[in-house]
Structure 1
Amino acid sequence: MAQEADHPSGADGPHGADGRARARIDAALDERRRSFLRMVSHELRTPLNSILGFSEILTSELYGPLGTPQYKEYAEIIHGSGQKLLKLVNQVLEIARLEGNTIDFDVGPESLDAALDDVLMALNTELETRSVRVNVTDRGQLPAVTADGRGLRSVLTQLIHNAIVFSPEGGEVTVTAEPHGGDVDIVIRDHGDGIDPDDLGRLMAPFEQGENALTRKGEGAGLGLPIADLTCTAMGGRLRLTSAPGQGMTATARLAAAR
């Protein structure tokens, strides 16, 4: 004779009443997080876009000269400050989405060559300002990876920008893509001052500005590397940093090779 289960009908369990209730609660919380982030994004970006737009009009003297030269200088300062603030807002919202798992990644085959072309074009101003060269080994013949297109570009942007900032003026950043079993290691090396290996873990924490040359050297809130790390993880990969004083830093983003 078949034995009856000890728990009553409709009992707890991952597929029971409690499990379904938990799933509904989680879904509701997830939607509330998404709604909150949409609201914050709109309420912060809308006035910032106005500040940027009107300061551009003043700087270009679109409707006539401003008069006293200082006014144009002040408008340029307002515009530059607005750009920095907008970048910070975007990064904070990105961290919140990644930590709250509210970003829906569409993972599939992605061309590393195409992604790097887009990223290097976007970073052209920074490259020219610091006279830094980016040397991509085997450019045009890089392997494809399994990733979200936007997420891949975000990782590459954060890591290459970080390498540019901490490279010596006139220096070089190298980018290689190395097969590793069923994965691809995207390796980005700079030749800056480097950092003590014991401090590397702290650089993955949001807003971390450790007491060392690497984090004191440039502006920013310390969000680039955490964004790259969380994005790699969300796409099924991982990010690893290696460095030593006087030997620059190497960031290795490992993603699955395209199937």
Structure 2
Amino acid sequence: MTRAAFQTVVPFEPPGPLQDQAAAERRAIFDEQKKSFLRMVSHELRTPLNAVIGFSEILACELYGPLGSPQYREYAEHILASGHKLLTIVNQVLEIARLEGHAADMGLGPEALDHALEDTLEQLSVDLRETGVSIDIGDDTALPSVMADGRGLRTMLFNLLQNAVTWSPAGGVVTVSASPRAGMIDIVIRDSGPGVDPADIPRLLKPFEQGQCPLTRKANGAGLGLPIVEALSGAMGGGLEIISASGEGLTARLSLPAA
């Protein structure tokens, strides 16, 4: 007698309501664990970084008196700049982890683009001052409102504008405009930088990818800005389109539902 004679065919049974409920409960527990982990990591990384930034700022401005040698002030300024750069990268890494792990909490509601842009430009004030790049908001009238998460909207605008400022030539101009289209608002940000080959655009939308050769690029960073914008815009019912060509600058079109 062959082994086949003893084999029993077990018919496939689709999961029932109890199995579905148990799987949903496990997913909910896992999602909550991811959120707790990210909150813990966020606190443990940001707290010492904020201390480094705060104390180095006090030293750099010699708040309690001169430090002595001018080199000490220069070193404090380097520590301050490095702290800000590291904090930006930490924030980006945590943001992409939240988005890819579906652990980001979104509170969608009407958001005024005017106010969001004003907040973003204030964050970029140091970069704008150091590079001499100016921001030209094309329409003098009030910009439209969008349906978005307030924090997420400012994160997207910051990443797109910082990218545009970084790649613009010294004294260049970055233009910003917003217009309605089929129930959406298109926020268009254009720079006058070197641009990228269209074939490279899909690569730049992947985490930790960067423009230009790593040995020759002028900007440092983790390559997370554009992927964060794409993920956030998708989570809000919108999208991101990048248009560019070598030597012709880069245009980012962020589309979000109209409020």
TM-score, with normalisation over the residues of structure 1?
0.89
What is the match of residue 248 of structure 2?
Answer: 247
Q: Do residues 218 (structure 1) and 190 (structure 2) align?
A: no
Superposition map of 1:31-180 within 5 A: 31-180=32-181
Contact 2:196 2:211 in 1 (8 A): no
- Alpha-carbon separation, structure 1, partners of 2:102 and 2:164: 27
What is the match of residue 4 of structure 1?
Answer: none
- Alpha-carbon separation, structure 1, partners of 2:35 and 2:110: 27
Instruction: Identify the range of structure 1 (44-53 vs 32-41) with the bigger mean alpha-carbon deviation.
Output: 44-53
Q: Deviations over 1:67-98 (max 9, x none)?
A: 33333322222222122111111111111111
- Alpha-carbon separation, structure 2, partners of 1:66 and 1:134: 37
Superposition map of 1:7-46 within 5 A: 12-13=15-16, 16-46=17-47
Instruction: Identify the range of structure 1 (113-122 vs 237-246) with the bigger mean alpha-carbon deviation.
Output: 113-122
- Alpha-carbon separation, structure 2, partners of 1:132 and 1:62: 30
Contact 1:155 1:231 in 2 (8 A): yes
Contact 1:185 1:254 in 2 (8 A): yes
Contact 2:149 2:236 in 1 (8 A): yes
- Alpha-carbon separation, structure 2, partners of 1:60 and 1:128: 18
In the alignment, residue 193 of structure 1 is paired with which amino acid?
Answer: P
TM-score, with normalisation over the residues of structure 2?
0.89
Kindly tell me: are residues 137 and 211 of structure 1, through their superposed partners in 2, closer, same or farther at Cα, counting changes over 3 Å? closer
Kindly tell me: are residues 57 and 150 of structure 1, through their superposed partners in 2, closer, same or farther at Cα, counting changes over 3 Å? same
* Alpha-carbon distance, 1:178 to partner: 2.1
In the alignment, residue 226 of structure 1 is paired with which amino acid?
Answer: P
- Alpha-carbon separation, structure 1, partners of 2:19 and 2:185: 42
Instruction: Identify the range of structure 1 (54-63 vs 135-144) with the bigger mean alpha-carbon deviation.
Output: 54-63
- Alpha-carbon separation, structure 1, partners of 2:70 and 2:134: 36
* Alpha-carbon distance, 1:228 to partner: 1.0
> How many aligned residue pairs are there?
248
Kindly tell me: are residues 244 and 207 of structure 1, through their superposed partners in 2, closer, same or farther at Cα, counting changes over 3 Å? same
* Alpha-carbon distance, 1:61 to partner: 3.3
- Alpha-carbon separation, structure 1, partners of 2:57 and 2:125: 21
* Alpha-carbon distance, 1:115 to partner: 1.3
In the alignment, residue 89 of structure 2 is paired with which amino acid?
Answer: L
Compute the RMSD of aligned alpha carbons. Answer: 2.1
Q: Which runs of 5+ in 2 are unaligned?
A: 1-11
